[in-house]
Amino acid sequence: MRALKSLISFIFLYKLLTPSIYAQYDLYTPLEFQKAYEKMTRSLDGKPGQNYWQNFTTYNIHAEVIPSLSLLKGHETILYSNNSPDTLKSIIIHLYQDMYKRGNPRDRYIHPMDVTNGMIIKGLQINNENYDLNSNKRFIRDKALLIINLDEPILPGTVTNISASWEFHIPEKTSIRFGKYDSTSFFIAYWFPRVAVYDDIFGWDRYGYDGYLEMNNDFAEFKVAIDLPGDFLIWSTGNLLNSDEVLPFELMEKIKLSGSSNELITILGDIGNYHFDRQNEMLTWYFSSNSVTDFAFGFSDHHLWDVIPVTLNNGKRVLINVVYDPNGKEYLSKMTEFLSQCIKYYSEIAPGVPYPYESYTLFNGLNTGWHTGIEFPAYVNQAYLTNDTFNYAFTAHELAHSYFPFLVNINQAHFSWMDEGLANYLAYDIIKYILGLSEFHPLYSGNPLDKKSGLFLDVPVFTSSILYQVTATGSHTAYNRPSFAYVILEDVLGKELFNKCLVEFINRWRGKRPIPHDLFYTFNDVAEENLNWFWNPWFFEFAYPDLSIKGIENNEIIIKNLGKLPLPIYLKITYDDNSLEEISKTARIWKNGESKVKIKLANSKQINKIDLNDIYFIPDVNRSNNSYIYKN
């Protein structure tokens, strides 16, 4: 009994002395997350734990692209470093092109011409042992995944050598993030067998590419060689290592000018400049990129090309490339200068973290299909729209992905809202600052939360993206709700403190793989406030934006929170003498979970009308109860 009393006293004292940690239990925490805290790979203050680890991969790839056949052939050697404490008895490899394989399940329509045999594996070796894909004993090939049961397990702290040869048909009629866009312009992505993520939360990532979900990749080093006919130019992730060998002299001279200038330079302003007299040559382009999560490239024999160097206040120079189809010149040629402004803003103002790469390339491949833009490290495949404002908004959004998920590596398959919501928030900031459009949400007109919030398919944001991505509310859950949550939290904390929290999250998790609670707990830690009153309804609960004016009692306006989301209150009061009074309260007014609040008026003049939240950034599903007209 005495021992039990001592234990109880110890636990009580420990909790008393560590209130900031135990306060975090207000947030729902899945068992996988709890185990990570127990193993100390994560910590409850939002920092990486003392036992944090992540695996790393090196890819050495040589590919040949035959544009006339829409065919890519490749060979790779992979060095997979198991930095985990676990012995791996199997290994999982993504074969993304199997989404196009005949009979394979997928969540997107593909044109019948693009239904193929998927990624054809010509050979596979692991630690110099040949693996026969026809052996049912060792392999499970399903949903664009290849699961290999190993004879010799991968031990902790060891490096596994994998080599593979493959080929696949480049989609010609289906524009899902990549493919053939005309007879001589292509964008290539998801094009090599790659080792799936094995992490401290879920173990192996067992979700294959289905066309809808985005990627979950480890950081890797890439050494890539690409063989292509000489009448094409390539723009790629990473650094071009042999520019003197593959770029024509006249283009090299123009590019060298960018080394001593901050002005826009047109490298190719006319498709006639493509006559390089190299049509009969096969050129090999060499690229390298380190500590990035993916590698993509585009090529064309008629795209136009502008560059502009940007010098950041830390002295770093970034080269921006905008590469576009001549049909998009009117719209995308404007993006070069705009991108230079965006990179400086993101680097120096908000979030104020220097852009992490040496270059950024906007490649105009997408022109039809579902996506307007799809991001890669230092690279975006982007369509053009005939609305300039939306082109600016999408451009700013895709650039913001340089921070999330590429500097701070987000699991986009499960937590797409973490990177999409933050990218939307940052783009929204850019639109306000650079374009001065204070009432414009970057991707939508009006307030998109008004349209889908509170409906049957409106699930909590914390729900895995795998479960809601294909529903009618997928974009609402991944993009709209989290981005508006950040806008409203910024209103609560103030711009300076909010940004301080965001920068600390970036610094803690740059080059690492955070989970949602790492974001929430970092904000709590830096703000020195338990913000779970905000995180819970906005990210974990079935709640929606709906405030109403209940009435007036004792010179106090009664506001009811029908949807249970913490929202700002903005009141515009018109008196009988036509004078106006405005009252603003941040969402903190709902901190204690009240269902209604009372706001006292400064005077007792006769009221004619009260309007609630008739301001663009405050969402509300039912605005019919947001006005009050006084009746004698």
The rounded distance, in Å, linking the Cα atoms of 238 and 244 is 16
Of residues 16 and 107, the one with the higher pLDDT is: 107
The rounded distance, in Å, linking the Cα atoms of 445 and 458 is 20
Look at residues 237, 241, 344, 240 and name the one whose alpha carbon lies nearest to residue 291: 237
What are the φ and ψ backbone dihedral angles of 337, each rounded to 5 degrees?
-65, -40
Per-residue pLDDT tens for 502-534?
Answer: 999 999 999 999 999 999 999 999 999 999 999
* Range with lowest mean pLDDT among 181-195, 221-235, 433-447, 453-467: 433-447
Domain assignment of residue 624, yes or no: yes
Domain assignment of residue 426, yes or no: no
Of residues 445 and 356, the one with the higher pLDDT is: 356
The rounded distance, in Å, linking the Cα atoms of 584 and 572 is 9
- pLDDT band of residue 546 (cuts 50, 70, 90) is very high
Q: Name the average pLDDT for the chain.
A: 90
Burial class (CB in 10 A: 0-12, 13-18, 19+), 244: exposed
Mean per-residue pLDDT for 269-295?
87
Residue 279 has pLDDT above 90, yes or no: no
Q: Give the number of residues written for the chain.
A: 632
Look at residues 26, 93, 105 and name the one whose alpha carbon lies nearest to residue 59: 93
Residue 4 has pLDDT above 50, yes or no: no
Task: State residue 439's pLDDT score.
Answer: 56
Strand, coil or helix: 444? strand
Domain assignment of residue 250, yes or no: no
Look at residues 160, 191, 174 and name the one whose alpha carbon lies nearest to residue 77: 160
Mean per-residue pLDDT for 561-577?
95
Residue 487 has pLDDT above 80, yes or no: yes
Identify the H or E element spanning 160: strand 159-169
- Other Cβ atoms less than 10 A from the Cβ of 79: the count is 16
Look at residues 501, 507, 505 and name the one whose alpha carbon lies nearest to residue 528: 501
Look at residues 436, 59, 470 and name the one whose alpha carbon lies nearest to residue 225: 59
- pLDDT band of residue 303 (cuts 50, 70, 90) is very high
For 549, the token pair is: 């004016």
Domain assignment of residue 579, yes or no: yes
Give the HSE-up count for residue 208: Cα atoms under 13 Å, Cβ half-sphere: 24
Mean per-residue pLDDT for 301-315?
95
The dihedral over CA atoms of 262, 266, 268, 270, expressed in degrees to the nearest 10, equals 170
Task: State residue 631's pLDDT score.
Answer: 67
Mean per-residue pLDDT for 429-453?
69
Residue 449 has pLDDT above 90, yes or no: no
Give me the number of domains the chain comprises: 2
- pLDDT band of residue 560 (cuts 50, 70, 90) is very high
Positive or negative: CA dihedral 453, 454, 457, 460: positive
Residue 93 has pLDDT above 60, yes or no: yes
Task: State residue 106's pLDDT score.
Answer: 87
- pLDDT band of residue 471 (cuts 50, 70, 90) is low
CA-CA distances (angstroms) from residue 216 to 55, 202, 207, 414, 524?
A: 13, 12, 9, 8, 26
Per-residue pLDDT tens for 185-231?
Answer: 999 999 999 999 999 999 999 999 988 888 999 999 999 999 999 99
* Structural contact between residues 366 and 423, judged by C-beta atoms closer than 8 angstroms: no
Task: State residue 438's pLDDT score.
Answer: 61
Look at residues 181, 204, 208, 489 and name the one whose alpha carbon lies nearest to residue 328: 181
- pLDDT band of residue 306 (cuts 50, 70, 90) is very high
Strands 607-612, 596-600: pairing kind: unpaired
Residue 105 has pLDDT above 90, yes or no: no
Q: What's the per-residue H, E or C state across 582-617?
A: EEEECHHHHCCCCCEEEEECCCCCCEEEEEECCCCC
pLDDT > 70 in the chain, percent: 92
CATH of the domain at 595: 2.60.40
Task: State residue 277's pLDDT score.
Answer: 72
| Domain span at 588 | 547-629
Using the structure block, give the residue that is written with the tokens 């198991």: 82
* Structural contact between residues 359 and 319, judged by C-beta atoms closer than 8 angstroms: yes
Per-residue pLDDT tens for 30-43?
Answer: 999 999 999 999 99
Strand, coil or helix: 550? strand
Domain assignment of residue 584, yes or no: yes
Strand, coil or helix: 75? strand
Q: Which residues are bridge partners to 572 per DSSP? A: 582, 611
- pLDDT band of residue 26 (cuts 50, 70, 90) is confident
Cut 0.85: pTM above it: yes
Mean per-residue pLDDT for 344-367?
95
Domain assignment of residue 555, yes or no: yes
Domain assignment of residue 562, yes or no: yes
Domain assignment of residue 510, yes or no: no
Residue 12 has pLDDT above 50, yes or no: no
